[in-house]
Structure 1
Amino acid sequence: MKNYTFLIIFSFFCSILVAQQKSNSLLHLNRAEKILFLGNSITYDGRYVAMVESVLLSSHFIKGTAIINLGLPSETVSGLSEDNHANGEFARPCLFDRLESVLQKIKPDVVFACYGMNDGIYLPFDSVRFKAYQDGIENLYTEVLKSGVKRIVLITPPVHDDPDIGLRGYNQVLDRYSTWLLEQRNNKNWEVIDLHFPMKKYLESRRRIDPTYKLAPDGIHPEQEGHWLMARSIISYLNPTFPQVIKWDEYVANHTYLPKLYEAVLKKQELMKLALLRYTKHKRPGIPSGLTMEQANQQNKHLEKQISLLIKHD
């Protein structure tokens, strides 16, 4: 009987601890000086990252924390590439060509990483390609923590909507990649945010009303609504009480200064992204050359001041 009572009490305190860990998700984020986002062209686009920072700033959950976007178009963690990628001009860059430099030079406290869209090379499912993706994600996880980063959060890839066959094509590959990634929450106690399946569910619901509806004109790169769905999944993970507002425009309508804040944050992130990509170096042709770090930091001071003033006048 004593053992049974102990188990009940122990289970009760474990449930409290789990609840506290979830509620403290933002608290731990608030302690970070630098938060780094890694990913491919969707992350490089920057809108969902800027939305995340704008909401966290406007909600006063972060203050004095630098959110850095270092997404790189075409990038993979698998190291795979099509023979004719970019019309044969260059192979897809691999994250591990630059990861060590990025971690050493930026020294982030927290890393968010979103990969998978490019890793299946837009071909039907193949176990060898899948293994290359799994190995790449596991290597990323290991290398990030080995560098001294306190926390890594992995993100499932966005939905893929084939221009001809919709979700019945390459997205089935991403379904499997996303499922495996989500399984690691239990198998390895990884932090994983799912934005793939919520985006898929939303797309399916809209498609039932309007068969021509798209989140991304090319099936890959989402427009504003898609970026907001991504941002919302990340924010909801960090703060489960966040309101489930469908559209970005609806959310900003209730926060009069948020459009200006978002504009300033996006401009700041773009400035620092290009400068830091230049500083940390990469192998992807066609990326605009950013300012030197000295020049970028000077301009960044003015943007940070503008952002601070907007938050104070909330």
Structure 2
Amino acid sequence: MNPSYSFLVGTMILNKVFLRLLVPTVAIIALVLATADSAIAEMPFADGQTVLVLGDSITQNGQYVALAEAYLWAAYPDRKIDVISIGLSSETVSGITEPVHPFPRPNVHDRMTKALDVAKPDWVVVCYGMNDGIYHPKSPEIEEAYRKGLTKLVDQVAKRGAKLVLLTPPSFDIDAPPIQNQLKKVETGEPYGYQNPYRDYDKTLTALGDVVKSLASSAHVDRVIDVHQATDDYLKRVKAAVADYAYGDGIHPPADGHLTMAIGLLAGLGCDADDAEATLIHLTGLTPADCTIAATDEQKEFHKLLLDRFSRRSAAYRKAVGVPEPMKVDGLPVDEANVGATATEKTLRQMIFARPKPPAMPAYAPYAEAAEKRWNAAIKELETLDQSEQHPDDAILFVGSSSVRLWETIESDMAPFSVIRRGYGGARFSDLAVFAQRLITPHQYAAMVVFVANDVTGRSTDISVDEVERLARHVVNVSQQHQSESPVLLVEITPTASRLVAWPKIRRVNDRLREIASSTPNVYFVETADYYLDARGKPIDEYFKSDRLHQTEAGYAVWGALIKRRLSEVLAAGGKGPLVPDQLVPATISN
């Protein structure tokens, strides 16, 4: 999704690293505003519609719901969308309970009819799963109970004529201090449950998320939104940047986790994720854990009013629908709660639009601080080369990771093209996007070649394929804003024995890079992967060093020939000819 920030409604307070890296330009602003209408068209909730939100204690807490509603006020001020959230602690959709739980877990189906009667929704948003796995290892029995419960819910909603949005369960974090402290009290042999969760319980939730995704093809499910992927990506990112990060109690997300859920939900509804994050940070002062800033008094007041309104209204509807014994709910009558909620909403809307617009947050912003700490010295060394090296204006700029940095024969392999080599070991798109301005804009070049292969390696810190695409598009945009006439060539990630376990996901990254080339003018894809595989589909040993990752001279000879052939084709057509990027694959490797 291309960045769209036209809905930003205040001045964002940015951390020092972000301010240092942000280089706003008229061209960027123009690009941002041009994409706004498409985002509006995609969001499905229409003026006058009611949205019912169901879920467990995470939804009863409901910060993610309240944040999403605040964004809808900001982004779609002309739409009156009534969001009614009645999440209930301990509840499941499957109807199962772990034996050690003090009472049978509530089953949403016991209050489903009343909930639909009271809310009369046009849309129903559902987020269950955290309790449905009963904190056990994944099993066919648990998954089948969950599937049956969701299928029954789908049917109930369909009979009322409402549209349904299913969310996957969010992440579970065994490393959270409250869980670790609780596990110290657990005796050997104690059965699994909410006080003694299975250590790899997140795998159970992933499996339940797959069940949710399998229902996407149902005629009665409007869409499935992968909230688990959003929270999983977030956890990996902040844990890499913040050594002592704590994800709530491991089950219930902290405020920044709810912010992540809200952004994931809004993105799944067709809103722009970057715009949503920037807007919500601006309004509430909430920030991701890896770029913390102090909230202002005005932001704290907005956040407090927002959550108070949500809690009181949610409690009122929960009481009207009813909860099973031994659970209790203390809430106002719905009519009385709605009067107060309407007045508070008016105040919150006035606060939203009383402030000036903030600057746009670029795709790389969440990674900026960590990238600066790890790579700034390496980037400064490359900037030193900018002062000492001289290159013609028609040189080819190569940027990327160690395959670029270690390519000692690049000058001869690329001749007669002149080459500017700006690679650094271990580069990812998540940091190349941060440094793109510094690495690209000092140069004049006939074309830019990009190779980055470290975002997906089979490790727990890998980012999602969607995130790789978003960051890669940013790098491409930097070049096109700097020199729109110079083509950009994205080189396919090569298969390596050291990362073969991740090859299926790497192929998906390659597909996204190919899609960027196919959909973006003057961007081209360089096919390489098939040339590195033998008849059995395994990486060819002679092309790689003993680390089974970096290329030998023989490997670089193949790589150079493929890149040079593709580069020659693109430049021969002026970068604008009838080339179709994903169809021009060299029939032979030759110079």
TM-score by length of 1: 0.81
| Amino acid across the alignment from 2:236 | E
Distance 1:31 1:284, change over 3 A: farther
Provide the residue aligned with 1:104 in structure 2: 117
Q: CA deviation at 1:278?
A: 1.1
Q: What SS does the corresponding residue of 1:37 show, helix, strand or coil?
A: strand
| Amino acid across the alignment from 1:35 | V
Q: Per-residue displacement from partner, 1:58-117 (whole Å, max 9, x unpaired)?
A: 1225632211111000000000012231xx2x2110000100000012101111100111
| Amino acid across the alignment from 1:195 | V
Conserved? CA contact 1:119–1:129, under 8 Å: yes
1:184 counterpart = 2:215:
yes
| Amino acid across the alignment from 2:85 | N
Aligned equivalents of 2:42 and 2:56: distance in 1? 25
Larger mean Cα displacement after TM superposition, 260-269 or 99-108: 260-269
Q: Per-residue displacement from partner, 1:40-61 (whole Å, max 9, x unpaired)?
A: 0001001111100111111225
Q: CA deviation at 1:33?
A: 2.4
1:194 maps to which of 226, 232, 245 = 226
Structure 1 segment 284-303 matched on structure 2, within 5 A? 285-303=326-344
Q: CA deviation at 1:127?
A: 1.1
Aligned equivalents of 2:219 and 2:339: distance in 1? 42
Q: What SS does the corresponding residue of 2:45 show, helix, strand or coil?
A: helix
Larger mean Cα displacement after TM superposition, 221-230 or 270-279: 270-279
Aligned equivalents of 1:247 and 1:122: distance in 2? 35
Q: What SS does the corresponding residue of 2:310 show, helix, strand or coil?
A: helix
Provide the residue aligned with 1:139 in structure 2: 152
Higher helix share: 1
Provide the residue aligned with 2:164 in structure 1: 152
Aligned equivalents of 2:279 and 2:237: distance in 1? 15
Q: Per-residue displacement from partner, 1:207-247 (whole Å, max 9, x unpaired)?
A: 3344542322x210011110011000011122343316489
Q: CA deviation at 1:128?
A: 1.1
Aligned equivalents of 2:232 and 2:152: distance in 1? 27
1:24 counterpart = 2:41:
yes
Conserved? CA contact 2:317–2:334, under 8 Å: yes
Q: Which has the larger radius of gyration?
A: 2
Structure 1 segment 37-48 matched on structure 2, within 5 A? 37-48=53-64
Aligned equivalents of 1:274 and 1:34: distance in 2? 17
Q: CA deviation at 1:313?
A: 3.0
Identity %: 30
Q: CA deviation at 1:31?
A: 3.0
Aligned equivalents of 1:68 and 1:135: distance in 2? 25
| Amino acid across the alignment from 2:253 | P
Aligned equivalents of 1:200 and 1:303: distance in 2? 34
Conserved? CA contact 1:75–1:93, under 8 Å: yes
Aligned equivalents of 1:108 and 1:62: distance in 2? 20
| Amino acid across the alignment from 2:63 | R
Q: CA deviation at 1:262?
A: 4.0
TM-score by length of 2: 0.45
Q: Per-residue displacement from partner, 1:94-150 (whole Å, max 9, x unpaired)?
A: 00010000001210111110011100100111211110000111111110111121x
Conserved? CA contact 1:54–1:258, under 8 Å: no
Structure 1 segment 214-293 matched on structure 2, within 5 A? 214-216=246-248, 218-243=249-274, 245=277, 249=281, 252=284, 260-283=301-324, 285-293=326-334
| Amino acid across the alignment from 1:64 | K
Structure 1 segment 69-88 matched on structure 2, within 5 A? 69-85=85-101, 88=102
The alignment's C-alpha RMSD in Å is 3.0
Aligned equivalents of 2:38 and 2:112: distance in 1? 29
Q: Give unpaired runs (5+ residues) of structure 1.
A: 1-19
Conserved? CA contact 1:70–1:273, under 8 Å: yes
Q: Give unpaired runs (5+ residues) of structure 2.
A: 1-36, 184-196, 287-294, 356-591
Conserved? CA contact 1:53–1:265, under 8 Å: no
Aligned equivalents of 1:253 and 1:122: distance in 2? 33
The higher relative CO (CA closer than 8 Å, separation ≥ 6) is in: 1
